[in-house]
């Protein structure tokens, strides 16, 4: 497609920085962004309120959907073999025929929520589900941001899978879709043929918006960072041969001799536990042997992306530098007590924002105020010894 002045430009070869600038509400286009082909066409017509379906050619829109769903063309799903505990929890809700709710996988970035969606698609295909009845969408894609969920489904039913047939919707990064909470609410209420599983990186997805429109329509599965058990399993390390019926609370009642035996069986895991504290509970870093690389990945992919992307796009934070200084302070004083009444109101607002973004800040309630003299406390729980993780 073009305006007569340039060659055809495919979606995959766009100046995506320019598209991201437009879709995220920036005031202008980057100076160095290409303005020919599809990008120029969109920028010229978007302001004229031209329908989105006229901005992007039909074959380009279908190509985006096919790119996210290779199983439509008979290609296998390349999902990791290791399955998190959240996968099993998701299947329990998904397979319940009487539960008319969407399933929301909520948690921080890079903990494996997208992987759970692909593993679910792989499992359903292995069980004989028709490939075209599974629709996976990464809703932070620039083109899908423009289209919106309603237009995407109309396109899907018109050209891929007929309307009214059973359909599995796998909605990744659902918070980036326009009016997603309303659209999904309507699908749950009036689309019995849909089974919906969605992911969201920021817990504001189900705190603020879902509190109003999603009551009775969502069931949330928390996807935290890896537990130590998952950390050991994802690395393929051998597990100790403990009594399967032994529970943590039972340790307090064990005789001293039995307790020493359990400790001896667990001793080989001590180096792994120390590594677990250093590299954090993220699947990508769990498999890496280079600790320096792990820490750099956490800084770049987890810390900086959440601070500089999610906080600005989802919460409207403008002064990222102040927010970053607050985060550093919390990491250096992790485990300490912070009474927000003694600091600026903006600091309290940033604490709430960090909590909503699943960014390692949680409120501790139920503390005896007569003992500590403060009503609320803040704990930075980003896994790993935070100061060593970020600055060592």
pTM of the shown model: 0.72
Mean pLDDT of 333-342: 67
Residue 337 belongs to domain spanning: 291-391
21, 43 contact by CB (below 8 A): no
Q: Are residues 302 and 211 in the same domain?
A: no
Q: Are residues 316 and 205 in the same domain?
A: no
3-class state of residue 266 by DSSP: helix
Q: Are residues 170 and 319 in the same domain?
A: no
Q: Are residues 66 and 181 in the same domain?
A: yes
The tokens of 295 are what? Answer: 């820490």
* Domain C-terminal end among 191, 222, 253: 222
DSSP strand pairing (361-364 vs 377-380): antiparallel
Average pLDDT, the chain: 77
Q: Are residues 81 and 181 in the same domain?
A: yes
Q: Would you state the pLDDT for residue 7?
A: 31
Mean pLDDT of 32-54: 55
Q: Are residues 98 and 176 in the same domain?
A: yes
Tens of pLDDT along 61-119? 999 999 999 999 999 998 999 999 999 999 999 999 999 899 999 988 889 999 999 99
Q: Would you state the pLDDT for residue 302?
A: 66
Tens of pLDDT along 277-335? 888 889 999 999 998 898 888 888 767 777 777 777 767 777 888 778 878 777 777 77
322 falls within a domain: yes
Q: Are residues 199 and 81 in the same domain?
A: yes
Beta-ladder partners of 194: 167
Instruction: Give the C-alpha separation, 275 to 265, whole Å.
Output: 18
Q: Would you state the pLDDT for residue 120?
A: 98
Structural domains in the chain (count) = 2
Mean pLDDT of 48-62: 78
Q: Would you state the pLDDT for residue 388?
A: 41
Q: Are residues 70 and 159 in the same domain?
A: yes
Q: Are residues 81 and 194 in the same domain?
A: yes
* Domain C-terminal end among 169, 198, 222: 222
Q: DSSP letter at 136?
A: E
Q: Would you state the pLDDT for residue 179?
A: 83
Q: Are residues 200 and 63 in the same domain?
A: yes
Tens of pLDDT along 142-151? 999 888 899 9
* Domain C-terminal end among 181, 199, 222: 222
21 falls in which pLDDT band (50, 70, 90)? very low
345 falls within a domain: yes
Q: Would you state the pLDDT for residue 55?
A: 78
- CATH number of the domain to which 114 belongs: 3.40.50.300
253 falls within a domain: no
18 falls in which pLDDT band (50, 70, 90)? very low
Q: Are residues 198 and 344 in the same domain?
A: no
Q: Are residues 71 and 205 in the same domain?
A: yes
For residue 49, what are the CA distances in angstroms to 14, 38, 53, 155, 170?
21, 16, 11, 20, 29
């Amino acid at each position: 497609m073009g305006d007569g002045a340039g060659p055809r430009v495919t979606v995959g070869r766009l100046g995506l920085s320019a598209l991201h600038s437009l879709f995220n509400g920036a005031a202008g286009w980057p100076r160095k962004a290409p303005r020919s082909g599809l990008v120029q066409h969109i920028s010229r017509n978007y302001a004229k309120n031209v329908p989105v379906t006229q901005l992007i050619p039909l074959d380009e829109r279908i190509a985006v959907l096919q790119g996210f769903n290779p199983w439509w063309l008979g290609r296998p799903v390349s999902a990791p073999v290791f399955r998190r505990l959240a996968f099993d929890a998701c299947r329990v809700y998904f397979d319940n025929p009487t539960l008319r709710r969407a399933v929301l996988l909520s948690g921080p970035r890079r903990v494996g929520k997208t992987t759970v969606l692909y593993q679910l698609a792989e499992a359903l295909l292995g069980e004989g589900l028709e490939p075209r009845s599974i629709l996976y969408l990464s809703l932070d894609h620039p083109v899908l941001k423009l289209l919106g969920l309603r237009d995407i489904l109309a396109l899907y039913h018109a050209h891929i899978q007929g309307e009214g047939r059973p359909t599995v919707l796998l909605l990744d990064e659902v918070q980036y879709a326009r009016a997603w909470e309303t659209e999904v609410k309507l699908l749950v209420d009036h689309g019995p043929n849909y089974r919906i599983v969605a992911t969201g990186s920021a817990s504001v997805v189900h705190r603020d918006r879902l509190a109003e429109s999603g009551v009775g329509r969502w069931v949330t599965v928390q996807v935290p960072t890896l537990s130590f058990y998952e950390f050991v399993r994802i690395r393929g390390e051998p597990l100790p041969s403990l009594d399967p019926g032994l529970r943590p609370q039972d340790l307090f009642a064990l005789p001293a001799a039995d307790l020493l035996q359990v400790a001896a069986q667990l001793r080989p895991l001590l180096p792994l536990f120390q590594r677990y504290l250093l590299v954090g509970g993220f699947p990508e870093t769990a498999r890496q042997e280079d600790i320096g690389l792990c820490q750099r990945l956490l800084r770049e992919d987890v810390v900086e992306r959440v601070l500089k992307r999610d906080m600005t796009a989802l919460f409207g934070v403008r002064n990222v530098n102040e927010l970053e200084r607050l985060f550093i302070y919390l990491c250096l004083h992790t485990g300490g007590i912070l009474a927000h009444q003694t600091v600026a109101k903006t600091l309290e607002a940033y604490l709430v924002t960090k909590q909503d973004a699943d960014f390692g800040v949680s409120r501790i309630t139920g503390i005896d105020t007569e003992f500590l003299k403060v009503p609320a406390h803040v704990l930075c729980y980003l896994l790993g010894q935070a100061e060593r993780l970020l600055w060592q």
